[in-house]
Amino acid sequence: MTQRWTYRQDQELPSFAVTWKDTNGAIINFSAGYTFKVLLVNIVTGAVALTKTTNITGAATAPNVIVAWAAAELNITPASYHLHLTATTGGNDRMFSPGALPEVKITATPV
C-alpha cells in the first residue's frame, strides 16, 4: 500500500516520519553512523524537484527516520512526487521501499 502525504507549498509541519524495518520486520537502528538523503521526484516528468540532506534524524525506535522540513523548503511546483529516502553507512546505501515509494502531493498556497 502506498503511503501518501499532502503538504501546501508554505507548510513545514508535520515532519515526514516513517518506521523503517529490515527484511525480518525488525526496526532498523538508525541512531548512529548513518547519513540520509531525500529526493522528491515528479511522478509524471521524473524531474528531481528537491534534494535534502539536512534535518533528517535517525533513531533506534519508531518512528526511526524523521524528515523535518525547513521554512519554504516545500515551496516547489504543485504536483505529486515520489519520495526517495536513502540511508548511508560505511559507503553502503539502503533505499526505503515499503512495497511502493511514498507519495507527497504539494498543493498551491491559497492566495
Q: Which amino acid type is present at position 111?
A: V
Instruction: Collect the ranges in the chain with pLDDT lower than 50.
Output: none
Q: What is the DSSP string of 39-65?
A: EEEETTT--EEEEE-SSEEE-SSSS-E
pLDDT tens digits along 44-67: 999 999 999 999 999 999 999 999
What pLDDT does residue 98 have? Answer: 63
Identify the DSSP state of 34.
-
